[in-house]
Each structure stands twice: as structure tokens, then as C-alpha cells.
Structure 1
Amino acid sequence: MLFGREPEDCAVPPKSDPAHVTQLTSLKFRTVKSTRADFSIDDLLLQVEAHAPGVYRLRCAESKVLLDDKPGARSRAHAEMLLARQEPAGELVVSSVAPPDPQGWRLTQGDIVLEIDTDPFQFALYRGEHCVLRSEFCAALGRRVAGDVCTWRLGLELDCDEALYGLGETSNDLDRRGEHLVSDQPQARALPLVWSPAGWGLYVNTLGRVEHDLAATDPDTYAVSLQDRIFDVFLFVGEPVEILNQYSALTGRAGQPGLWPMGVWLDQAPGLSIDSVLETVEQFRADGLGLDVVRLAAPAVCGFQADKAVFEWDTRRVPAARTMLTRFQALNMQVAAPTFPGVLADTALFNEWEDRGWLLTNDADGSAHRFAGNAMTAGRRFGLLDLTHKDVYKAWSERQRQLVDEGLGAPDCDAQLDIPDGITARGGESGATLRTLYPLLARRALFDAVAGHKTPQEGVVCSTDLFPALQRFPWQMGPRVPNTWAGLEHTLRCALSLGASGVPVQMHGLGSAGHPVASMTPELYIRWLATNVFSANFSFQGVPALLPQAFDARTRELVQHWLQWRYRLIPYVLGIIEDSVRTGLPVQRSMALAFPADTLAHAWDTQYLFGPALLVAPALHEGRDIKVYLPKGDAWWDLNTGWRYEGGTTWTVEAGLDTLPIFGREGHMLCLGPTAQSTGEFNSARILDEVWMFGMPEHSPVVMRNKIRVMQMQGSSYIKGLEGLRILPSEGLEVKRRGAEVRISRAR
């Protein structure tokens, strides 16, 4: 038999079945096509599809539901929001398992095999001869129908030491095993992708509620429960980087951010005036400190008027919007401003749009729901625009585009609200589906406003919201954390966990205006800044005590030192983000993601791979001594000393405040730009200034608008695209230029 267990074991009900679902047990083969095999399972239809190489899609429901050739407009719209690639691109070879084993089936894609046992139904995934995942014995798939709610349960067995990564944001251990997450609870900060370094991943394709029991109930079982009329999951097989690649190709990849968002940001402190912010920007310029973007604080500085459907700047905060934008532009500064898809309650416009059906409504009486006030509305109650209504969606998106056309750099909007049950949108969405769908619609409408008229799409929308297919819409803002060493670690872990969940970028704050500032010592401030420099990006906080000017002269010198590093790194960082459009890989990559085979590396879960070329070990405590583990399989070059270290080794590095333990990965290059104070100073004809090499170059470098190519031949590397650049080779290598080509070879 396929799984080496005796059939009579099924007499013992699985202990990890809290939903008391009815297990689907009896499977019969029906038909096969080039990309799909159909089975009858009890009284349902199970479709297994080769969606892409190494990707299987499992769908189960009543036959009439799965075989419906004409799904409604609402179903099609939901499908397009979740999946960028609807049609399968794989090829499936189906063969039966011959006696003496019980009847079963092998569904093969190259060296990837999905084996299915028919009675009882269970499955296992193989890569070559190695089993990477198997379903729970006698409890692979269950179903329960209660009224209009259909709940499915998928049970997967876990090895005793198997780790689970992804599933959204966490400030704790990156291994999510032992947790229980509910997708539509905003506080859960959940995303739908989970993967294991053992070589498999899972994506649950639904807008409905999904509960992930990550061995919290049963220490040996990962149980997924989802509420939808169709059971629809994707199984991935491969290394984590391959899984992220396939996942992002399936659900959509990031848009381009452009150049100016890569510069340093400044967050306006709540209560401070625009004039005060401008004075801070001028001080940065006078001190020679890099800065590119100002992000205005809540409440929303633009919105619909109380008595008419006109979307305008709030004149109480921004008396003359055009003048404000002109003043910032004169300083080479872009502006991000908070906005919100709501209408203040008990106003003439609220009443008008309630009558028109443009607001989310209460099921009980059909009235527009009045939400409690929040920071965006300055505490005033509001109604939410029904963005499922195409006219409302279009109107709100077009109003945002007007602001962008006037000179606004980016909108800033958090719309992930705990929408109560009993509230329904025009499209019929309510409950968990509406809670999941709403922030997706809000972000998409804003991204359409910013980037929809550009080809390729380029631009950013600032938000902390998490939802399926989030990675399509940059720019993800980080958490507000205390001004402590623990706060620094918190924001770092959030970025690494989001990266493991398929989100390429998280912005960090250098401290937080919402927490006491007394604990922000000069040492912590510089260590935090240094870590932020080696990230996707970050923002200063506009509180006087958290600005560089609040610190002593030596600290200010260090701030300038690290900001110069930041602007020199921009071509590399933007190159990583541009690469994520093709690969789905994040800027900051956890050890488990980058080195799945090196289990020792996984324990070092606050150091990270920064793009493909650099390993960063941030300082998360006081003192100069920092421990770093260099993953095995590669050699590593210390950026500070130029020394080479073998992988699989642990070191204690003494790092002053002007350094961090940063190591270049052998075979890679780091391309640096010139020193600048803003991205407006970048010369498009000379983006790069210098190239650092870590051993013999083997890989083309990651860099914005990459035109540098490496070719190896007869023990040397030949590189095109380095004209006019300073080249710093590793010790033992020599550089010879031959016209447009550079030859790197061993020194004789």
C-alpha cells in the first residue's frame, strides 16, 4: 500500500478533528486530461490539476459547482482578485498503482509526484524518491455543511522537528508551529501562504474564513479549516525560493516602486504643523543628510466634503495644497498623505449616499452602518464606501488620481477594519469574506489611481493592511514599535515574516512617535539606523527627540555616515525589488528562506540575507560584540576587512557604531551608486559608481535597470556593463579591461 499503514487503523477517529467534519474516504477515478484528473469522492467531485511545474491544485465540491462553465460576474471578479494566472500551465501524467498495493494513482510532473490512495482517501507528495508531505491518515479531507456554511478540513502530518513559515506578520519566532490563526481577524495579521523547509508549501485560495491550526491542538498535525462552497488549495513542491516564485506567479507579483520612494522618508509627528515639517526638511538639507519623502500624519488630509461629493484637501490642516506641494518640490521632496474610503456620519453627503446605496449597510434594517471613529477620522463616526459597487470604486479611485495629478506622491490608507457580521456589501459579501475583501479593494483602487495610467505600472501606496495577493501592491508599512532594543527586534522580525509570506517590501520606522522616547539612547539610535539602511527602506520620526538634531555631534556624524551608505545602496536595493517582479523574493530574506538545507542557520533568525549578495547580522543589544553564523555551502567576504571565511562557521565580530557585521556572498558583486542627498541628484546616465567583488564573479549583479552581465570561461569571468566604474576585486584577483569588456582572473 502507498503509505505503509493498516486499513483497520481508521477505526480510531483522528484526535485532531475539532470541527467534527465528515471524512471523505472513498475515491474513484473518473477521467483524465492533459492538465487534470477528475475523481469521485463520496458524493462529490475532486479535481487534481497540474497548475504549473511543481504545483498541484486540488478542488472539491458538488459536480454541478465545479463543472459550471458560466460562473457569475461576482465569482469571476473574486477569482481575478486572488489569482493572476487562472489557466493551468503544467502537464500531468496519470498512472495507477498495481497490486499487491491497494488501488491508488500517481499524478506525475517530471520528478514531482502526487500519490493518492483511494480507500481510504489520502495523499502524499514526492520529489524524486523523497516524500516531502503526506496527509493525515484517514483524515485527509473532511466536510461539514451547516445551513449555508460549508466548512472543509485538510489534515497534514508533520515530522516532529518540522518548522512552518509564512502566514503573515509576527514579532515572535519565525517558525509558526504551535500557533492558531484565523484569517479574517485583523489582529491575526494573517496571509495565506505557508511553507516548510522540508520542501512543500500550501496556499488556500479563498476569500472566506481560513483557520490554521499549526500543531496547536495536535502536536503532529497541521489542520487547515476553510469556509467556502468549494475546497480550493494549491500544493507547491520545491525549495522555498521556488515556492515563492510559483506562488507569486500564481497570485500576482509586485508593481515597480520607482526611484523616489527608495530615498529616506520623514514621518510627520501628530499635531505638528506643515511649516514645522518644512523646517525639519530644511535642517536635514543644511546638515547634509539625505531625505526624499514626507509622510503626513493622520487624520486624513483629504476627503469628501460634508455636504457634497467633492474630494478636496482639508483646509484646516492644509490651507493651500498647491502651495504646500510646491514648497516641498522646491526641496526635492515628495509627499505621501493619509486618505480614507469613508464619509463622516450624520452629514448631508452620508444621508445622500445612504439613500443611493453607496455605503456598507446593516442587514437588519438596510441602513448605512455607522462605524466608530478612528485616527483617520479624528474620532468621528463614519460610513464606509461600498467598494464592491463599481461606480463607488471608480469614483473613489478617480478622486485619488486627481490628487496624484496635482502632485501628491503617494496615498496612505489603512482600511483593514473589524467589520462586524450582519453588514453586507452590494455584491452580497459579508462576514469573513467582506473583512478579507475590503482592504484588498481599497489598496487596488489606490494603486489604480497612482499607477494605472503608467506602463509598466509604477508607484506606491502606503498601508499596513494584510490580505491575499498583497504582494501586487507596494508599499508595505511596518509596525509602530517601542523605542527600545525589543522594538528594533520586533520590526525586524515582522519584515522577515512578511518576506517569508511573499511580501517583498516592508518599510521600517526609526523608532515611533507613539511611544516614550527616553529609552532611545544614541547607541540604540545608530544601531537601529544601520539596520534600516540595509532594508527595503525606512523613515525618520518627526518627533524632535527622535530626529538627528536631538543627539550629540558624534551621533550626528554617524547618522550622516549611514545615510551616505543608504543612498549608495539604492541601485542595489531597487534592483532587488525589480528582481522580485520576476522571482517573488523579498528584500530581507530569513535564514530558513535563503538556506533551507542548513538547519543550524534557521536558529539565527534575526540575521538575514539582504538581496542575493549580502548577509547582515544586526546589533540587537548593547555592546560592540556581535555573533554571526555564516551559512554553509558558500564562502563569505567581510565587507569591513576584506577577509574570506568558510561557511558553516560561527564568529564573534567586534563592530563599532560605524560598522555592522556584513558579509558578501562568494561569486556575487555589490554595485554601489554615488553619494547623494536625494534621489533627485541621481544621474540616469551614471547610476553606478563602484563595484565590489566577492571572489571570482559568477552571478550577474542585482542592480536597477541591470545591464551588467557575467560570463565564465576557462577559469576567468568576462563582464560587460562596467564601463567607467571603479572595480574593487577580492584579494588574489586581477582586473583587465578590453574595451567594453572586463576580464577577472586569478593573479599570477
Structure 2
Amino acid sequence: MRVRAAVAAIRLVGAAQAVRALGAGLRARAARRAELRSRAGERARTPGVLLEARPCPGGGVLRFERAELEIRVTVRGAVFLGWDAAPEPSHALADGCPAADVRTQLEPDKDGGWQVVSERLTVAVSRHGAVEIRTPGGQWLRREQPPRWWERPGGAGGGHWTACARVAPDARFFGLGGRAGGPRLRGSFRLWNSDPGGCFGPGDDPLSITMPVQFVVADAGCHLVFVDNTHDGRVRLTEGTEGDGSGHDRPGRCELRMTGGPLRYWVLAGTPARLLQGWSALTGAPALPPYWALGHQHARWGFDTAAEVRRVAAGYQEHGLPLAAVHLDIDHFDRHRVFTADPVRFPGIGALIGELRAQGTRVVSIVDPGVAEAPGDAVYDSGRAADAFVRDPRGRRVRGVVWPGRAVFPDFTAAPVRAWWGGLYAERLEKGFEGFWHDMNEPVSFDPFSAGTLPLDTRHALEGRGGDHREAHNVYALAMARAGYEGLRRLRPERRPFLFSRSGWVGMQRYGGTWSGDVATGWPGLRASLSLVVGLGLCGVPYSGPDIGGFDGSPSPELYLRWFQLGAYLPLFRTHAARGAGRREPWEFGPQVLADARACLLERERLRPYFTTLAVEAARTGAPYVRPLWWHEPALRRLRDCEDAFLLGDALLVAPVLHEGGRRRTVVLPPGRWYDTRDERAYEGPGPVELAAPLGSVPVLARAGSVLPVAGPEGGVELEVWAPAPGGSGGGSVAVGTPDGWRPARTERYTVRWSTRGRVRVERAEGGRPSYPVRLRGV
């Protein structure tokens, strides 16, 4: 593998740059070996015996022989636990540490322990430092052994800590950021944002977005645990087993090892909707994308000229296919240098962007963090003048090798650098770009003999506190997204920014969304695409989607169409592929695929008002657009184990075909009545049903009683109302707001019920007739 990686690097950047990368890699490997030698003989320190408990606002401080634990419950119900005076979290939280809930009580517990009692959770701590998280009714959700801090001998400094927790035998694990092998997680996962170095599938880990966020679902209830530590780490998740009722159950286990940083974490409990609402309040509301970003977007690494871009855009118009945006990859840069345009291959790029905008198509620009170390380059010169680039411990600028060759990297963890970088987007806006796509921001350096990122001893500002790349690596892309988002708000305050990023960390939803990265073309890559979107949504990042068709290779017509059908129901609906890969335009796969893809695109356009409503709901409550089937019924185990279907909001259930040759598929229904939207046939849940899934369509079912805002045949919005089950009721909402501005959306809520005369009545929740035409279905 390393030989292939080295050959690939030489082809990408040339022999001279590859030699420089090899030198950097050898130095980094020597530093890692020295660090491993210093770890030899580490000793474990445990908290010891509890000596004292003293109350504080929202909880208390427990002093042990060799450690101290602070427990604080916030007004929103989130519980903070920090060992050894852990500093306040900084990167993940939106507005600093929330206010404490002063109603919380610190009380003695059994066997010499203490407990912090709040409205939603009880945290019990034993006299030796074990922690148990309980519901108000006394049911335990999580049992944590006393943590262990592994110290280096002889006063060498540093160290790492380990922790182990048990959960219920029936519990299932989700989350941890973007994981290709889920959404239900089992096994070992690394917490280190990484470019996989090629296309990935379900077995590859880690990927570009790793988050220490566990979403745990069990019969007793749901809880979320966030370890607020940005260092490298590893999580091992083991599901439990239930016995025959004789008490021989084996609980699930979560084992965690962090290579450094504080031992501090947050716990929330409640229904899935309440968890995401509390999580959003803690880490920030998701950014609301502009209306156009909910339509279909087309990208390619390989748009070599402006003429090629025009040809593809004209193809969409010729075939009657809606196209919201075109994305320009690094091809359009001048010698791959960020914030430039090639004057030969893309002359007068502003005119090209203007032509596409006149057709209703926006243009999105890629933005990479690596800046060519080239005196005379405007970005490099201004960054050098601002002292914006990271340095090593000896004060020298750190260099890497990326697309423009030898490059330097901004320190986005410094506020002045973020302000400088944010100002650079003015060049893009002046040319007419309306959206931005952050890539290569793990960050990546082409170095086949090391970790492929910056040297670990690279110095970062870390918001004035100072530190190295061990701590800054996982939040580098988060800080870059912040720089871009804040810069765009300053430069164009009347418009909502559109920004999505390949890498990120907890809180990245405040600045935009993400996409899958370079998912491999193939049926496993298709399945990984759904896993990533569901998992990221449960970590608070609702806007995401895959490269439709996969990044590499040439998908078969069947695979392409099945991927297109899935993408039509995901938030970010974007085709993309690598240079040298097969085409991804729908007309390249024959007339039948073109017709079926056109039907997908038209259905997406029809559902655009529903996607807008889901986007507004996500910004207000944190609820993802794409939700697991157990969202409303987490106690139903068959729903917890379903990984091949999802809810789109509350109204629709989508069952994509993820295997070759599939023409029928089993769909596990949540409780209630569901209608097949193709023929309006009704099915009753909970339980499985088998439905037809011909190549031209996939099963999409509507919940009885739901109200969907859709685009009417004559334009405008109409309400598609699905009849409630006999004796039942329902409802829904419609969000209407400024497409691209900041004016708050206006939301109307509707109720649906049967009248005494046997008719379906649709009314505004506050009273009165609907504001939109109503079309009744399912009667």
C-alpha cells in the first residue's frame, strides 16, 4: 500500500516535490518513534477514594484522593462532567458554557457516594469514582468505571486516559461523525479526521469527519454522550446480548482511549427529537441553506475548460432537467492556486458565471486551505504579511505538498487569520460565485510515509491558548469553515452563505454542511452513502449527501440510477466524479435511465417546499432531514436494527434499493398506516411489508394524516394531505421565508382529522382555512 501511495504522490506532484514530502515523512516518523519510546513504562492513576463533596450552582465538586470531578447541569438539561479542573469547552459550544440549573440538588447516595439530581437525569458517583447515569425513574442508562490516567514515568509529562462504560444489553450505538460502515456501529473507530488516500467503502475508517459523539438507543431510553476532547483517540463499541431471562444478560460496552487532552464530557437524555434539540442548543443551530441549494447540483473534477462547463449546462437544458448549481473543482484555478482563475482555460470566468445565472444555475467554487509558497502570488504575499501561516517549534513556516506544489497552511485557530482568510472570498464574490466547497481541509499533505497531514509538533494559536497539531488537527476544518462563513457574512450581509466542507468537527453545522468525500463507485459505496448521511444527522449535521455515482470508475446504468434515486431524497443532491472517471450526466446512460432520472429530478422539484420546511425545522430544532426509522419509536427493536431505509422528515419513508438486481424489497414500517405514494395503497405498521421496486422507482410511503407542502402544477405551493386512518388525526407544517436572505421564515401549522360527516378536514392550527390549495390523497 505504501509503495502504491508513493507512486501516486510522485505522479500527482512530480519527483522533486515527492522527494521533499519523503523527507518530511521521515522526520515525522522519527518523532513518532521517539514519542512511543517515551511512553514505555506508563503507570495508571485512578481517582482513589472520595474525600469530600461540596455543592456548586447546578451540581457539585467531588474531591477524591488523586482527582477531582465537577458535575454541572445546565438549564437545558445537558450535564457536564469534568475531571481534574478540565478547562471550559471552547470549539464545540456555540455560546460558551450554558447557565447552570440552580434547581439541581447534590445529595448523599448509597455506600458513601453522592448523586446530582436534576429534572431529566440523575448522576450517581460511587466512593471510588464510578459514574452511573439514571433516568428520573431510577432506570440506569450508562455505567462508567473510574477513569484511568496513564502518566509517563520520570516526570516526562503528557500521557493519555482511558474510560470504559456499560450500557443496556439491548442498546444500539450510532453517531461518531461520518462512518461508512453504519449507521448502526459495532467495532473499533479512530477519532482522527483523515483523507482515506483514495476512494473508500464501508470497511474504511477513519474518514474526513470524526466526532466523539455517541448516540445510544435502548429500551430504557436514549442518551447522547459527547467527549469534548479534540485529540486523537479510539472508540471500541461492543453490543450486548440478552439471555433467557435468568439474569445472564451481557451489557454493551464502550471503551475509549484518548492520546491527550482533558477528560471532560457532556451527557443528554430523552427522546431522539429532544436530544437533537438539546444538542443544537448546546453546539449551535444548523445553518439554513439558501433555497437554490436544495435543488440538484452537478460537479466534476475534470471540467478542464469553460467550454466544457457550458456544454454540460446546455445538456441539462436540452433534456429538460432542472439544474440548481454547477461546481467548479481545482481545474478552474490558475496552476491549482486557491482564489484564482486560469486566464487561458477559463477566460472571463465572470461572464461564464453570468450566463449560467441567467439560466437559473448558480456556480459554486472549491476552496482549499493549502496556499502555494510562491512569492508574487497575491494570497501567499498577503498571508505572509499577516503572519497567517503555521510554524514549527523553531519558528519556521511549516510546508506541505498539495495540488499547487509546495504549500503553506493558514492557522485558522487564530481570530486575525480567520479575518484575513474571510476577506479573500471577496475575489470569488466579485466573479459571481454564490457557494463554496471546502476540500482537502483535514488538512492533507501528500506524504506517503507519514500520516498525510501537518507535522504533529506544528504550532497553532488555539484561540490564544497555544498548542500543537495534536490538539488542533481535528478542529482545523471547523475553524476554516468559521473563517469562510464569517467572512461571507461581512462581505455580503444580505445573503445567507452557502458553504459545505469535506472535514469538520462538532459544531460544524453552524457554518454549513458536508458531503461524503471520495466514496468508491460500487454497490458498497452506495450503501456507505446512506450510512454517512444518517450518522451525521444524529451528530447534529443535517445537511449532507454523497457523490452520486461514486467518485471513481464508471457505474453501470443500474447502479447510477439507484444512486440517483437515493440522492433525490437526501439534503445535498449532487453528482460528482474524479478526473478520468466515467461520465455522470443522466443522458450518458441511455434513454431509459434519462427518463427515470428526469422523473427523480422533477419529484425533487415538486418536494422542494417540503425540503425547505425541513431545513427551517432543522435550524430551529436540530432535527435532521434524514431520520432513522426508530426516530419516533426507539423502543421498537426491529426499527433500531433497520439500516437500509429512512424517514424524510415525519411524513415520508424512503426505501432505496441498495443491492444489484433488486426489483422488490422488504420495508419495515413504523406503527400506523402508510400509503405507497405510487398507487396510494395503504399498509399497516408496525412490521415488514414487501413492495415492488422496479428499476424506474423505489418505494416511498407517506404517513397517514401527514401534510406535505409541495410545488403545485401551476406554480406556488399546495398541500398534499394524506388521509388519516379511521378515527385518527394528523398534521404538518409549511415554512415560507425569504429564499436567500435573513428574514425569519413564517411557519403555518395544520391539523387533519375526520369530520362527523366522514370527510377529511384540514385546518390551520390557530384556526381558519388553509392558505394554500389542498389535494387529498389516500381516500
TM-score scaled by length of structure 2 = 0.80
User: Are 1:730 and 2:778 an aligned pair?
Assistant: yes
Shift of 1:281: 0.9
Shift of 1:320: 1.2
Q: Which residue of 2 aligns with 1:72?
A: none
User: Are 1:152 and 2:152 an aligned pair?
Assistant: no
8 Å contact from structure 2 (residues 129, 146) kept in 1: yes
C-alpha distance in 2 between matches for 1:712 and 1:312:
54
User: Are 1:96 and 2:107 an aligned pair?
Assistant: yes
Quick one: which of 400, 416, 426 aligns to 2:442? 416
User: Are 1:707 and 2:769 an aligned pair?
Assistant: no
Q: Which amino acid aligns with 1:416?
A: E
Any idea what the Cα deviations from partners look like across 1:187-221, whole Å, max 9, x if unmatched? Answer: 52311211210222101123333432324999953
C-alpha distance in 2 between matches for 1:405 and 1:108:
56
SS of the residue 2:513 aligns to: coil
C-alpha distance in 2 between matches for 1:675 and 1:563:
15
C-alpha distance in 1 between matches for 2:424 and 2:697:
46
Deviates more, 1:441-450 or 1:424-433: 424-433
Deviates more, 1:539-548 or 1:583-592: 539-548
Q: Which residue of 2 aligns with 1:179?
A: 188
Q: Which amino acid aligns with 2:428?
A: L
- Aligned pairs for 1:415-434 within 5 A: 415-417=441-443, 418-426=453-461, 427=464, 428-434=466-472
C-alpha distance in 1 between matches for 2:620 and 2:334:
35
C-alpha distance in 1 between matches for 2:267 and 2:375:
50
8 Å contact from structure 1 (residues 196, 240) kept in 2: no
Residues 84 and 591 from structure 1, CA distance in 2 versus in 1: closer, same or farther, beyond 3 angstroms? farther
Q: Which amino acid aligns with 1:413?
A: H
SS of the residue 2:399 aligns to: coil
Q: Which amino acid aligns with 1:540?
A: T
8 Å contact from structure 2 (residues 104, 116) kept in 1: yes
C-alpha distance in 2 between matches for 1:457 and 1:90:
37
Quick one: which of 268, 289, 307 aligns to 1:236? 268
C-alpha distance in 1 between matches for 2:309 and 2:752:
52
Q: Which residue of 2 aligns with 1:124?
A: 132
Q: Which residue of 2 aligns with 1:69?
A: none
C-alpha distance in 2 between matches for 1:594 and 1:274:
48
Q: Which amino acid aligns with 2:187?
A: G
Q: Which residue of 2 aligns with 1:740?
A: none
Quick one: which of 359, 362, 365 aligns to 2:392? 362
C-alpha distance in 2 between matches for 1:245 and 1:724:
29
Q: Which residue of 2 aligns with 1:202?
A: 225
C-alpha distance in 1 between matches for 2:649 and 2:347:
43
Shift of 1:525: 2.7
Q: Which residue of 2 aligns with 1:470?
A: 508
User: Are 1:603 and 2:603 an aligned pair?
Assistant: no
- Aligned pairs for 1:308-707 within 5 A: 312-345=340-373, 347-348=375-376, 357-363=387-393, 365-374=394-403, 377=404, 380-414=405-439, 415-417=441-443, 418-426=453-461, 427=464, 428-452=466-490, 458-512=496-550, 514-517=551-554, 519-521=555-557, 523-541=558-576, 545-623=583-661, 625-674=663-712, 686=716, 688-695=717-724, 697-701=729-733, 703-705=735-737, 707=747
C-alpha distance in 1 between matches for 2:286 and 2:328:
24
Residues 148 and 317 from structure 1, CA distance in 2 versus in 1: closer, same or farther, beyond 3 angstroms? farther
C-alpha distance in 1 between matches for 2:505 and 2:344:
33
Any idea what the Cα deviations from partners look like across 1:232-286, whole Å, max 9, x if unmatched? Answer: 2101111233222211210112111111111211113415322111122112112
Residues 452 and 89 from structure 1, CA distance in 2 versus in 1: closer, same or farther, beyond 3 angstroms? farther
Quick one: which of 311, 314, 317 aligns to 1:282? 314
Any idea what the Cα deviations from partners look like across 1:670-714, whole Å, max 9, x if unmatched? Answer: 2211469xxxxxx7xx3x134232415523325454533224789
Shift of 1:456: 8.7
User: Are 1:134 and 2:142 an aligned pair?
Assistant: yes
C-alpha distance in 2 between matches for 1:694 and 1:478:
37
Any idea what the Cα deviations from partners look like across 1:39-79, whole Å, max 9, x if unmatched? Answer: 212244321111244421111215xx76xxxxxxxx8xx71
8 Å contact from structure 1 (residues 572, 704) kept in 2: no
Residues 362 and 532 from structure 1, CA distance in 2 versus in 1: closer, same or farther, beyond 3 angstroms? same
C-alpha distance in 1 between matches for 2:287 and 2:476:
20
SS of the residue 1:393 aligns to: helix
8 Å contact from structure 1 (residues 544, 550) kept in 2: no
Deviates more, 1:459-468 or 1:401-410: 401-410
Q: Which amino acid aligns with 2:680?
A: G
TM-score scaled by length of structure 1 = 0.83
Quick one: which of 315, 326, 337 aligns to 1:294? 326
Quick one: which of 165, 168, 193 aligns to 2:174? 165
C-alpha distance in 2 between matches for 1:87 and 1:335:
39
Q: Which amino acid aligns with 1:128?
A: P
Q: Which residue of 2 aligns with 1:742?
A: none
SS of the residue 2:470 aligns to: helix
- Aligned pairs, number: 676
Identical amino acids, percent of aligned pairs: 19
Q: Which amino acid aligns with 2:178?
A: E
Any idea what the Cα deviations from partners look like across 1:488-518, whole Å, max 9, x if unmatched? Answer: 2221222122122221011232214x5221x
8 Å contact from structure 1 (residues 618, 661) kept in 2: yes
**Which stretches in structure 1 are left out of the alignment for 5+ residues?**
1-17, 67-74, 677-682, 732-748
SS of the residue 2:549 aligns to: coil
8 Å contact from structure 1 (residues 200, 237) kept in 2: yes
C-alpha distance in 2 between matches for 1:388 and 1:342:
15
Any idea what the Cα deviations from partners look like across 1:626-645, whole Å, max 9, x if unmatched? Answer: 32333343322221222222
Q: Which has the higher contact order (CA 8 A, sep 6+)?
A: 2
C-alpha distance in 2 between matches for 1:211 and 1:482:
24
8 Å contact from structure 1 (residues 341, 396) kept in 2: no
C-alpha distance in 2 between matches for 1:142 and 1:612:
43
Residues 385 and 175 from structure 1, CA distance in 2 versus in 1: closer, same or farther, beyond 3 angstroms? same
Q: Which residue of 2 aligns with 1:9?
A: none
Quick one: which of 87, 90, 95 aligns to 1:84? 95
Deviates more, 1:564-573 or 1:262-271: 262-271
Deviates more, 1:688-697 or 1:328-337: 688-697
C-alpha distance in 2 between matches for 1:29 and 1:667:
56
Q: Which residue of 2 aligns with 1:11?
A: none
Residues 725 and 405 from structure 1, CA distance in 2 versus in 1: closer, same or farther, beyond 3 angstroms? farther
Q: Which amino acid aligns with 1:358?
A: A
SS of the residue 1:462 aligns to: strand
Deviates more, 1:566-575 or 1:39-48: 39-48
SS of the residue 1:249 aligns to: helix
SS of the residue 1:634 aligns to: strand
Q: Which amino acid aligns with 1:556?
A: L
Any idea what the Cα deviations from partners look like across 1:343-364, whole Å, max 9, x if unmatched? Answer: 213535658855863321122x
8 Å contact from structure 2 (residues 680, 777) kept in 1: no
Residues 453 and 48 from structure 1, CA distance in 2 versus in 1: closer, same or farther, beyond 3 angstroms? farther
C-alpha distance in 1 between matches for 2:382 and 2:488:
28
Shift of 1:653: 0.8
Q: CA RMSD in A?
A: 3.1
Residues 552 and 182 from structure 1, CA distance in 2 versus in 1: closer, same or farther, beyond 3 angstroms? closer
Q: Which amino acid aligns with 1:55?
A: A
Q: Which amino acid aligns with 2:90?
A: A
SS of the residue 2:565 aligns to: helix
SS of the residue 2:541 aligns to: coil
Any idea what the Cα deviations from partners look like across 1:610-668, whole Å, max 9, x if unmatched? Answer: 11111111012244633233334332222122222221221111133343211112332
SS of the residue 1:636 aligns to: strand
8 Å contact from structure 1 (residues 91, 109) kept in 2: no
Q: Which residue of 1 aligns with 2:46?
A: 23
C-alpha distance in 1 between matches for 2:573 and 2:454:
31
User: Are 1:105 and 2:128 an aligned pair?
Assistant: no
SS of the residue 2:116 aligns to: strand
Residues 352 and 298 from structure 1, CA distance in 2 versus in 1: closer, same or farther, beyond 3 angstroms? closer
Deviates more, 1:288-297 or 1:317-326: 317-326
C-alpha distance in 1 between matches for 2:122 and 2:354:
61
C-alpha distance in 2 between matches for 1:352 and 1:545:
39
